[in-house]
Structure 1
Amino acid sequence: MDEKIGWGLFLGRLVLGVIMVAHGCQKLGHMEDAVQLFHRMGQPAWLAYVTAIIETGGGLLLVVGLFVVPAAMLLGLTMIGAIVLVHLPQGLIGGFEFPLALLGISMILAMTGSDKLSLAEIFKNRKET
């Protein structure tokens, strides 16, 4: 893979990971509020827990570079949910533009992966030696 592309994917992986960890930790730290928010949207309480875990865990996996493709796929699904269930009625500007951008990064990483400065690459190199 071209060196510049590898670094671009790394930066996308890191940015998405940090944002998702922040959002997941916010939900986990205020789980009652998150459950109430999901309830007001007509969603079951369990979905608030699943979302918080996927955002936090998936974001951490991206930051360290493990299971990037499946983590990005799960994070992409949460962004589809956020767009459809929450932000779509607000329109693009000031509505679903941010989750759409995160969905775009998720899709890129789900299709390409990212091994630059990743634990997966370190483990792969150790195994080959």
Structure 2
Amino acid sequence: MNKNDEGTVILRVILGLTFFIHGLSKFQGGLSNAVGFFDSLGIPGFTAYVVAVIELIGGILLILGIGTRIISILFAVIMLGAIFSVKISAGFLGNGQMAGYELELALLAMSIFLSIASSSRFSLGNKLFPTNGKS
């Protein structure tokens, strides 16, 4: 294992765990709360279900290393939506009322990295669907 592989695995697992926990909390807190929050922002409430499922299932898949590029792109889209529809008005560090978008920006950068990085030898997806040395 080289250092790039090690770093990619660490980013993949941490990003997957972070999104999994966020998705799980949406389900545990009742999706109706998330739907209400999305509605209050002028975003159709059903998108809360879509986001929660992507976060929960995508987090598990990312931890395992299955569909890393696709899941990472979906996570990047979610982070862009969160930044521009909710967090941008609070600024980078927040405004005292709400946290800023620094976390979402870091998660976005991690997602973009994983969407363009070479497949890790240490992923279940690479074991199930070998690329024969291709990235």
In the superposition, the TM-score normalised over structure 2's length comes to: 0.87
Higher alpha-carbon deviation: 29-38 or 73-82: 29-38
Shift of 1:114: 4.0
The residue that corresponds to 1:103 in the other structure is: 108
Q: Answer yes or no: is the 8 Å Cα contact 1:68–1:113 preserved in 2.
A: no
Q: Which segment is superposed worse, 75-84 or 36-45?
A: 36-45
Cα distance in 2 between the residues matched to 1:7 and 1:21? 21
Which segments of structure 1 move beyond 3 Å, counting only runs of 4 or more? none
Asked if the contact 2:9/2:122 (under 8 Å) is kept, the reply is yes
What is the aligned partner in structure 2 of residue 45 from structure 1?
45
Distance 2:119 2:9 in 1: 6
Q: For the residues of structure 2 that align with 1:104 and 1:85, how far apart are their CA atoms?
A: 18
Name the CA distance, whole Å, in 2 between partners of 1:5 and 1:122: 18
Q: Which has the higher helix share?
A: 1
65 and 93 in structure 1: CA distance in 2 versus 1, 3 angstrom threshold = same
Paired residues, what number? Answer: 125
Q: Percent identity?
A: 34
Structure 1: runs of 5+ lacking an equivalent: none
> d(CA) in 1 for partners of 2:7 and 2:119?
9
CA distance in 1, matches of 2:113, 2:124: 19
The amino acid that maps onto 2:81 is G
Q: Which runs of 5+ in 2 are unaligned?
A: 95-99
The answer (yes or no) to whether the contact 2:119–2:126 under 8 Å persists in 1 is no
Cα distance, 1:122 vs. partner? 2.0
Q: What is the CA–CA distance in structure 2 between the aligned matches of 1:38 and 1:102, rounded to whole Å?
A: 20
